[in-house]
Structure 1
Amino acid sequence: MTDALLLLSFGGPEGPDDVIPFLENVTRGRGVPRARLDAVAEHYLHFGGVSPINRLNRELIAAVEAELRAAGLDLPVYFGNRNWHPLVEDTVARMHDDGVRSALVFATSAWAGYSGCRQYHEDIARARAAVPNAPELRKLRQFYDHPLFVAAVADGITAAAATLGRPARLVFTAHSVPTRADDQAGPPDAGGGLYHRQVVEAARLAAAAAGYPEYDVVWQSRSGPPQVPWLAPDIVDHLDALAASGTGAVIVCPVGFVSDHMEVIWDLDHEARLRAAELGIGYVRAATPGADPRFARMVVELVAEQCSGGSARRLGAEPGWGSGTDGAICALHCCGA
């Protein structure tokens, strides 16, 4: 039996005074110099020190609550973050005090890999360890190829194209990761590079649904020392290449992101857009899918699938892991560090 649903996310600052403490939480234990934190803080301060991610997650929770009621599922929805308030440890403590004994967890990442999946399992384990007699928590499956996710992404592309009004190259982006980390992504029997493969497959599905036989998949938001290889090409480098080949306009679809946050509004809406303007390329960015009503319906479908043991609706050819009936249950160490 399930008593509740926990929406688990990354978190983000909601005012200028939050920015540095938030970034210290994100980078804790990594030895990141303060100068680097100050540089990244400027991205947040450019937008008043506020990331939209917490607001968008609260809006998603309200939509999920409405969908749960419509589906006849009487489940309270809780909100916890890895890096900023409400912190997941505090949320799990409140769940315990409310009498929750067992809950499902929807993590705001569609993907395999350490940062996309395993780290959320670590968040769950850490929060449970901090709360005596904590409720059982079970993460819902990866959803990169769920039909409702794909449809929301595809319609975002179509809407963006309509605002441009001329032929454009479709370019999908997702957060880059070190190639070593991607090589370890997924359970051993899924093979290496599962994060990269899932992103490519999601792009294929969304492009087909939107009617684009040709498109590109690129990466963004890399960090760390330059000598460490990451998934490439970078979105800005790719814009340079497209301009050199005569491309006149692009539709950028951040397929790797559930909702807008700093990697979307700074890296794409600011840096990539400025570079496109310098190159004389028309530029439009497709909406992220989290605000689409179908996304909330997908969350409720994942809950119902887990509660009833129904079949998992999937479109992709790559594995999608989790506790759904068609996939193995993710373990804490299913993905490499």
Structure 2
Amino acid sequence: MNMGGPSTLSEVHSFLSRLFHDSDLIPLPFQRLIAPVIAKRRTPSIEEQYAKIGGGSPIRRWTEHQGKAMVKLLDELSPQTAPHKAYTMFRYADPLTNETLQAMKADGVKRAVAFSQYPQYSCSTTGSSLNELFRRAPALGMDGNSGVQWSVVDRWATHPGLSARPGVVLLFSAHSLPMDIVNRGDPYVLEVSSTVTAVIGRLRERNGFESSYRLVWQSQVGPKPWMGMKTPDALKGLARTGRKDVILIPVAFTSDHIETLFELDLEYGSEAKELGMNLQRAESLNGSPIFARALADIAAEHIRDVDSGRRGAASTQMMLRCPGCTNETCADQKTWFARGGRV
């Protein structure tokens, strides 16, 4: 499960429309009225961005590649539940939740793991995808009442499979989050920070690695306050203080898409060049066999623990609502997963 992205330029408007209509991701006043206007206004400029990275997002191709690589290993790691099959389920682009659920129903699926491909949990990303699944599954006869057992891998921010030289600054860049979501108690910022800490700890453990690092935030949209500091502002600040050797690391993304190929590579890369910086971008996980093994390990452990009763269908952390949460769909969705997909 992931946000998804438009595979062609003709899909950009529908992608943006779904995105701006989602109050879990971008809460707006008078959302039904404002979202279509924003989507229409932004479509031309976003189409230009996708045109510059080849005419569409590669996220579906990479997600399907990762899924196939994962289940091949998962069959070996968990032969008692084999054969396994990976389905791609996107929130804002094809294949959408309904389409994927219909494919699963046609295949006769009776055991399903909703595997979030956002390593760090947020109500606005993983939560939104799970809310959509919760809304759609019963109507299609794909819930626990219809004989389909559901469980969820909702976060894996510190798994070792997610994971220079002195003087180089490591700049971990993650998709930002509106401050009103942060301030209601969303765990995303904490979980991204835990990933960065785990990566740095792993580097020190394996290589005695020492380098300066910071966590910064990208992809802010609109006039509302978002989590900072912003990635381009950090680059300007580093250049001003004489730190011009930087490795930019897309810490919260599991494959290349518009935020890496356009925003990091082209937009920020151009700004860094103007600042006289030596900016290198760390390769995305994409087709990494280490990452495929990480996905398989996570899925195998999840299936084993759920089937043995050592853990519930969702993590203890996911069952805790944000202290400031007022979204009753979120509350109902958590109960639904806790009951294995039953109302």
CA deviation profile, 1:23-67 (whole Å, cap 9, x unmatched): 222223452422223222221122232101011111101211221
1:110 and 1:116 in contact (8 A); partners too: no
SS in structure 2 at match of 1:259: coil
2:92 — aligned with what? 83
- Which runs of structure 2 are paired with 1:218-237 in the superposition (5 Å)? 218-225=216-223, 228-237=224-233
2:316 — aligned with what? 328
Q: For structure 2, which runs of at least 5 residues remain unmatched after alignment?
A: 22-31, 204-208, 328-343
CA deviation profile, 1:83-102 (whole Å, cap 9, x unmatched): 12122211111211221122
- Which runs of structure 2 are paired with 1:1-337 in the superposition (5 Å)? 8-28=1-21, 29=32, 31=35, 32-33=37-38, 34-71=40-77, 72=79, 73-134=82-143, 135-149=148-162, 153=163, 161=164, 167-184=167-184, 192=185, 194-210=187-203, 211-225=209-223, 228-309=224-305, 323=313, 327-328=315-316, 330-331=318-319, 336=325
The amino acid that maps onto 2:54 is G
1:248 and 1:280 in contact (8 A); partners too: yes
State the distance in 2 between where 1:193 and 1:23 align: 24
2:26 — aligned with what? none
2:167 and 2:211 in contact (8 A); partners too: no
CA deviation profile, 1:138-185 (whole Å, cap 9, x unmatched): 221310011222xxx3xxxxxxx38xxx8421111100111121123x
State the distance in 2 between where 1:96 and 1:282 align: 51
State the 1:193 CA deviation. Answer: 5.2
The amino acid that maps onto 2:297 is E
CA deviation profile, 1:110-150 (whole Å, cap 9, x unmatched): 1122223211211211330341354343221310011222x
SS in structure 2 at match of 1:212: coil
Q: How many residues align?
A: 296
State the distance in 2 between where 1:137 and 1:25 align: 25
State the distance in 1 between where 2:296 and 2:241 align: 44
Change (3 A) 1:20 1:254: same
Change (3 A) 1:114 1:62: same
TM-score for both structures, normalised by structure 1: 0.80
State the distance in 1 between where 2:89 and 2:312 align: 20
State the 1:329 CA deviation. Answer: 6.5
1:219 and 1:232 in contact (8 A); partners too: yes
State the distance in 1 between where 2:122 and 2:173 align: 17
TM-score for both structures, normalised by structure 2: 0.79
SS in structure 1 at match of 2:229: coil
State the distance in 2 between where 1:276 and 1:307 align: 45
State the distance in 1 between where 2:190 and 2:18 align: 30
- CA RMSD, Structure 1 to Structure 2 (Å): 2.4
State the distance in 1 between where 2:72 and 2:55 align: 30
The percent of aligned pairs where both chains have the same amino acid is 29
The amino acid that maps onto 2:123 is Y
